[in-house]
Each structure stands twice: as C-alpha cells, then as structure tokens.
C-alpha cells in the first residue's frame, strides 16, 4: 500500500492495498474506497462516502463534506461515486441531506474540472463533463453524456438532459433539453441539437435527421410547447420519444 507518512487515515476507513494516498490527504472513518484509486495530495474524503475503482483525486478536492444547507444537523447521509472518474483541483462534492433523499451521487467515467461544485442531493450520470467552476446547487440532475460548460450555475431542481451541451457562462434556471445545444449568447436559448457532440458519440445521420425535425417543431415552427409536443410524438424513433418524455415530466419548464 502506498500511503505517504503525512496522510491521515481514520480507523474504520477501508483503503485497499492497490490505492495510492498522497501527502497531506485525510480519509474519514466512514469512507470506503474501491481498488486502484489515487489521491494525489491534499485530498479530503469525509462522511459516509463509497467510492468505486480507478478514480483520480487531484489536490485540494473535498469529497463527502457536509452540505451547505442550514437545515443540516449532522445526519448520516451519503456520497456515492462510481468508477474511473477524474476529479480535478479544488472540486467540492457535498453529501446528501435527509430532505433531499440523503445521497449525492456521481456515476462513472466523468471529468469534473477545476473548482466544480456538486451540491447536496445532486445526481450526475456517467460520461459527463463539468468544466471549470460549473456549479450545481442542491437537488440537480445531470443525465448521462451531458456537458456543462465553464462558469455555469445550475439552479436547484433543474435537470440537464442526456447528451446536452450547455455553453460556458449559461445561467441554468430551467431544464435543459436532451440532445440540445443550449447557450447564453445574449439570453438563454436552445440552438438546436448538439450535432457535433452527437456525431462523435456515434449517432447516425438518420438519427440526427429525426432529432432535427423534432427540434424545428419545438424551437422554430411558431407552435407553443403543447402543440409542438403533439407533433413530436407523431415522429418515430427512440430519441424523439426521450425528448417528448423529458418535456412531459419537466417541473421547471424547458429552455427553448
């Protein structure tokens, strides 16, 4: 086991021999690590935190720390992280609260860049990218393969749909449509589908074409959302069904 002499590992913590714990890192008594995790230096793992395998934690990140919620009274809530994530410098991930379900969760194969904040009870899927200083307030959901750009604050209870790309500096106060390219050039708008990102993920031209039809109905056909949704449901394909279901269940409304 590679543990630097200056690291502090509390009694009760589970740290497999395949892990590397760098200088001045601290691991709390209720932390459970999987295999081959690397804590480079000055990493804090706290609270009831379960971490999968193959993750890399860069200096000064703090994971499983108490939530920034004045109602929190030390309840034994959790943080759950999957496999093969890269968590860069000064990232903060708060554990859950009783009122929000009790768990903050990160999937697998995510990149959380410098100074990202994951607020309490947020759920980030797998294969997500959160760029520098993206900030998730409590109770946010980021679905699989979504990208949130630099300096984007995301309001409580908002959902960023799968495969969406949110441009840097966008203030997200409503749900972001799946597959969309959403940005705040002058005001928050969806600018159609995330065509380049979807193509890179292996979407065929036929799938992109059907999605483009759905987004034209929603964004530029001079229909209200209810009318556009009726037309979208007439289109065939799993992707447009995902878009329709996302709009149906949205509580905050979607960015158009």
Specify whether 144 is catalytic: no
Based on the residue annotation, tell me whether 120 is a catalytic residue of this protein: yes
User: Number of C-alpha atoms within 13 angstroms, CB side, residue 179?
Assistant: 25
Statement to judge: residues 123 and 12 lie in one domain: yes
Residues 219 and 119 in one domain: no
Q: How many helices (H) and strands (E) does the chain have?
A: 4, 26
- pTM value is 0.95
Active site residue 251: no
Residue 212 structural domain = 198-249
Q: What is the per-residue pLDDT across 182-233, written as a single tens digit (0 to 9) for each? A: 998 656 678 899 999 999 999 999 999 999 999 999 988 888 989 999 999 9
- 48 and 119 within one domain: yes
Q: Which of 42, 117, 120, 123 is catalytic?
A: 120
Same domain, 123 and 207: no
From the candidates 30, 83, 121, 175, give the one annotated as an active-site residue: 121
Q: Are residues 110 and 16 in the same domain?
A: yes
Name the band, by pLDDT with cuts 50, 70 and 90, for residue 154.
very high
User: 77: domain CATH number?
Assistant: 2.160.10.10
Residues 136, 202 share a domain: no
Among candidate residues 123, 111, 121, the one with its CA nearest the CA of residue 77 = 121
Closest CA to 193 of 227, 240, 236: 240
The SS3 assignment for 41 reads coil
Catalytic residue among 28, 54, 125, 138: 138
Pair (29, 126) in one structural domain: yes
The four Cα atoms 156, 161, 163, 169 give a dihedral, to 10 degrees, of: -40
**Phi and psi at residue 231, in whole multiples of 5°?**
-70, -40
Q: Same domain for 7 and 130? A: yes
Q: What is the pLDDT of residue 189?
A: 78
> Given this model, what pLDDT does residue 220 score?
87
Residue 34 has pLDDT above 70, yes or no: yes
Q: Does 241 map to a domain?
A: yes
Q: Which of 35, 242, 75 is nearest to 229 (CA)?
A: 242
Residues 219, 116 share a domain:
no
Whether 30 shows a pLDDT value over 70: the answer reads: yes
């Amino acid at each position: 086991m590679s543990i630097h002499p200056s690291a502090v590992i509390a009694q009760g913590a589970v740290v497999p021999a395949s892990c590397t714990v760098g200088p001045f890192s601290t691991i709390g008594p209720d932390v459970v690590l999987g295999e081959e995790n690397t804590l480079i230096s000055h990493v804090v793992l706290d609270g009831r935190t379960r971490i999968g395998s193959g993750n890399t934690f860069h200096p000064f990140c703090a994971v499983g720390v108490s939530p920034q919620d004045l109602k929190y009274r030390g309840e034994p809530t959790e943080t759950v992280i999957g496999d093969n994530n890269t968590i860069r410098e000064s990232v903060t991930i708060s554990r859950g609260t009783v009122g929000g379900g009790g768990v903050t969760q990160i999937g697998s194969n995510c990149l959380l860049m410098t100074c990202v904040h994951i607020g309490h009870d947020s759920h980030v899927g797998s294969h997500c990218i959160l760029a520098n200083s993206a900030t998730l307030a409590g109770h946010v959901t980021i679905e699989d393969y979504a990208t949130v750009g630099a300096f984007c604050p995301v309001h409580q209870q908002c959902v960023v749909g799968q495969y969406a790309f949110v441009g840097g500096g966008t203030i997200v106060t409503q749900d972001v449509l799946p597959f969309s390219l959403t940005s705040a050039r002058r005001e928050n708008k969806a600018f159609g589908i995330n065509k380049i990102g979807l193509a890179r993920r292996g979407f065929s031209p036929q799938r992109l074409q059907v999605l483009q039809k759905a987004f034209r109905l929603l964004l530029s056909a001079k229909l209200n959302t209810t009318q556009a949704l009726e037309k979208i449901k007439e289109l065939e394909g799993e992707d447009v069904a995902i878009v329709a279901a996302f709009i149906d269940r949205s509580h905050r409304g979607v960015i158009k």
